[in-house]
Structure 1
């Protein structure tokens, strides 16, 4: 079997997480790293072994890569993703897909016309805590009536770039996007949404959000996300309530659940699990390579990525215009 020839575009921290995982997959050959700062590319390439270095996407194309991992800052995803798809290369793009609707449209059009496979990196779907919740729901052991989710970033202003929308696209695109993605992953299609938001400590448009979602299944969920509350444990949490049943997470470390009034509360503790496995990075990479090798569906393909991009834009629109949004109708109009 020919190995998948993979290039990395963007040599920051998250790129190193993926190269560590991919370097252990015997179906993969890491052939190149490109970054606008070539010293960064060289540093990451040295940890891989024989990978070549460059500063542009074309440098990777000249290495005859099959697949490119796009691991550049949030607001710089659209152009390299479209360029890869136009070349017929497969793309794994770190979140977000784009930071506006036009960017998402450009990527979707390129993906639909391309022989390459597109995948969005949404590792939290495959975190052990969230995989457990998903398994309880899919098995019918936990039917969600309502839920509450929260994710707080301890300090938006450190480092300063995290509060800069020209780099991140906004707080939801940088930090809370994973919880927003989990809403539909766990509870199904969203019917309506409403968001109230404010700017509390930064010059960003919003850095504090409270959201309410209804789902076509009948589930109702709230999501609260603050950029300035400190790092008190657990700063990331999901609680799901069913008929005499409750399940809850504590960051990526533990799940607690009880599925009947008289049933023992079960606890699963993942603190001893390696970060890449516990956080879902290893599984999302394995599933992506599976799709390339076997011709199956990527874990988070173009339709899921596009729907998430629509959802993020709708949340901001609701906050700006103080209105409820019929998201189900918006998806039907945009996707069909």
Structure 2
């Protein structure tokens, strides 16, 4: 018999991915799928097995769910997450936590009072290539000084809602937020933020960002991201530089660690590994279920989500004002 009864709120593409993973976990039973589109909820409920298709979060509560996966569009996360926490229901929220720091603070406060465990979906922390980067830094054998990070988000045409800031909360809250979260995870908290932003193609918002971050650890990173690159490869990469040493990622498929002069590089390749594993989704879900069953904190907490939301806001503020933002001073306000 399954240990955790799960409901899915929002039956889009990412919900299908989480469902495919959760239904393989013997500790989980997906008992309900909610979506305002009855056809979509029925289809995903059928994929989940014996789940019941419903239309609202309240109906999931009535089914007796113990955990809810909030897989709605970005700007619709907050109210549903707050309802879960207020009802002491565990909640996994896809990124972003919120599209404003005010709403992120509400979730952080609610999570601190709730018996439910909150986790923010930041799967790239568990991606094989970035786990290697994290492990090498954590081992102490490699001290990073500088990082160059690149992300081309594609064309923002498919699905069409990714070009609508009323749905996404802004371009940076789509895929780029993963890189801002990763920068905190790998290098520590930001100290200053400087961004040059442009509105080159989009009719509604900034679509081009060159971001320089300094960290309390002393590390510097340069992050460039563009909304209309057409998936030119590598669409995502990271280069981290130490003393005569480098760690380089190429998509989610390859990571190379060059530990020093006159030493062979260590290369790991994951081309033949399924996306659900190498992009980190399987481990992300497993660890969240572990946290619920063990009553422990998950890897990406409400505090983490709040700080990343504040960092996104700081990038936008710098892009608009063209000034350097003292991030630590911002947090103290």
TM range, smaller chain: over 0.9
**Structure 2 counterpart of 1:74:** 74
1:233-257 Cα offsets, whole Å, 9 max, x none, are 1110000000000110001010012
Residue 2 of structure 1 and its aligned partner are, at CA, apart by: 6.0
SS of structure 1 residue aligned to 2:96? coil
**Structure 2 counterpart of 1:16:** 16
Please give the alpha-carbon distance, in whole angstroms, between the structure 1 residues aligned to 2:236 and 2:110. Answer: 35
Please give the alpha-carbon distance, in whole angstroms, between the structure 2 residues aligned to 1:34 and 1:157. Answer: 26
Q: Is the 8 A contact 2:148 2:223 kept in 1?
A: yes
Report whether the alignment pairs 1:272 with 2:278: no
**Structure 1 counterpart of 2:220:** 220
SS of structure 2 residue aligned to 1:138? helix
Residue 158 of structure 1 and its aligned partner are, at CA, apart by: 4.0
RMSD: 1.2
Report whether the alignment pairs 1:126 with 2:114: no
**Structure 1 counterpart of 2:110:** 110
Please give the alpha-carbon distance, in whole angstroms, between the structure 1 residues aligned to 2:203 and 2:156. Answer: 11
**Structure 2 counterpart of 1:53:** 53
Residue 153 of structure 1 and its aligned partner are, at CA, apart by: 1.5
Please give the alpha-carbon distance, in whole angstroms, between the structure 2 residues aligned to 1:319 and 1:256. Answer: 33
Please give the alpha-carbon distance, in whole angstroms, between the structure 2 residues aligned to 1:310 and 1:56. Answer: 30
**Mapping for residues 45-194 of structure 1, pairs under 5 Å:** 45-194=45-194
SS of structure 1 residue aligned to 2:175? helix
Q: Is the 8 A contact 1:147 1:221 kept in 2?
A: yes
Please give the alpha-carbon distance, in whole angstroms, between the structure 1 residues aligned to 2:5 and 2:160. Answer: 36
**Structure 1 counterpart of 2:251:** 251
Q: Is the 8 A contact 2:189 2:215 kept in 1?
A: yes
Please give the alpha-carbon distance, in whole angstroms, between the structure 2 residues aligned to 1:210 and 1:307. Answer: 20
1:60-106 Cα offsets, whole Å, 9 max, x none, are 00011110000000000001000111111010000000111221122
TM-score normalised by L of structure 1: 0.97
1:96-133 Cα offsets, whole Å, 9 max, x none, are 00111221122122212211111100000000010010
**Structure 1 counterpart of 2:28:** 28
**Structure 1 counterpart of 2:205:** 205
Please give the alpha-carbon distance, in whole angstroms, between the structure 1 residues aligned to 2:63 and 2:264. Answer: 57
Please give the alpha-carbon distance, in whole angstroms, between the structure 2 residues aligned to 1:109 and 1:204. Answer: 32
Residue 301 of structure 1 and its aligned partner are, at CA, apart by: 0.9
Q: Is the 8 A contact 1:157 1:202 kept in 2?
A: no
Please give the alpha-carbon distance, in whole angstroms, between the structure 1 residues aligned to 2:170 and 2:229. Answer: 17
Please give the alpha-carbon distance, in whole angstroms, between the structure 2 residues aligned to 1:157 and 1:24. Answer: 32
SS of structure 1 residue aligned to 2:92? strand
Please give the alpha-carbon distance, in whole angstroms, between the structure 2 residues aligned to 1:261 and 1:156. Answer: 42
Please give the alpha-carbon distance, in whole angstroms, between the structure 2 residues aligned to 1:245 and 1:180. Answer: 23
**Structure 2 counterpart of 1:43:** 43
Q: How many residues align?
A: 333
Residue 205 of structure 1 and its aligned partner are, at CA, apart by: 2.1
Give unmatched runs, 5+ long, in structure 2: none
